[in-house]
A = this chain, B = another copy of it.
Amino acid sequence: MSIRIGIIGYGNLGRGVECAVKQNPDMELAAVFTRRKPEDLQILTKSAAVCHVSEAAAWKDKIDVMILCGGSATDLPEQSPEFVKLFNIVDSFDTHAKIPTHFANVDTAAKEAGKIGIISVGWDPGMFSLNRMYASAILPNGKDYTFWGKGVSQGHSDAIRRIEGVKNAKQYTIPVEAALAAVREGKDPELSTREKHTRECFVVLEEGADASKVEQEIKTMPNYFADYDTTVHFVSEEELLRDHSGIPHGGFVLRSGKTGWEEENSHLIEYRLKLDSNPEFTSCVIVAYARAAYRLYKEGQSGAKTVFDIPPAYLSAKDGAALRAEML
């Protein structure tokens, strides 16, 4: 019997999960839950139901794993502890500083309900975290580096759009090649924020807006841009939609470390992602962990989990013998 998946929230991430489920023959999409009017929502999977989120409880025995596709700012802190009372869940909570609190909230609710709640799944947090952890356990005497990009930062694009006179905008985060090269060469550089990434912005102005004023406002925006070398390009709405409508992302996790009795040997571990679609890749990671949630639950486990807690084999549709024969 296949693993029955539910989706709460049908934005880019929800659609990505729907596509990922299609690629996994041991899973099926049971239903999508939305805050919109269900009759207004068109999904891609003909066999799946579309329901209002208020009806979710009625699906308690018809869904094995519920995937929460809301945002980390306001949706998930409420939804994850709430829905884990009814379902095994996977979320992509990505506010790094608030992960311990979120974990504790989900853990309490999940243990009471006897369910599994896997939080903060995706690529960062997620696969990048895993790679930071494996690499630092293997090379305890070393130094970590994470570079993001080249990719679209939704948060930075939004920040530009809030400036007066801006009609539309897209922001790319770009790793500095020289910094990456220095890390790869084992130089263990100390890198400032400015030395690690640059920011490139494509901005469509409102009619009559003052370009130099907008540019100045972007470049001096605290937290978002002031600490970076930022380039601003003004483009037409047409050009923005034509050349910058994708949501690519990716990045690099590196660890350089020393081994040997006198630390005479150097090593480099590098993990890289190059993604055409940030939400679709995130969804693929989430769906693999939904398989793990299902299996952990079947074993009788409960509580909150992260990528650190889950044996890799639980993500794969293959069994242990096949994995050992084909992949080890």
Contacts and interface: CB of A to CB of B under 8 A. Distances in A.
A125 B317 contact: no
A141 interface: yes
Contact of A323 (B96, B138, B266, B308): B308
B99 A328 contact: yes
A53 interface: no
Number of copies: 2
Most buried by B among A16, A311, A328: A328
A134 interface: yes
Contact of A309 (B268, B280, B320): B320
B321 A312 contact: no
Interface string A280-313: 1101110010010000000000000011111111
Interface stretch (A18-26, A59-67, A165-173, A201-209): A18-26
A1 interface: no
B285 A24 contact: no
10 contacts: A100-B324, A131-B271, A137-B315, A259-B276, A259-B277, A267-B274, A270-B271, A270-B272, A271-B272, A308-B323
Interface of A: 16, 18-20, 22-24, 44, 96, 99-100, 103, 120, 125, 127, 129-134, 136-141, 184, 257, 259-261, 265-277, 280-281, 283-285, 288, 291, 306-313, 315-317, 320-321, 323-325, 327-328
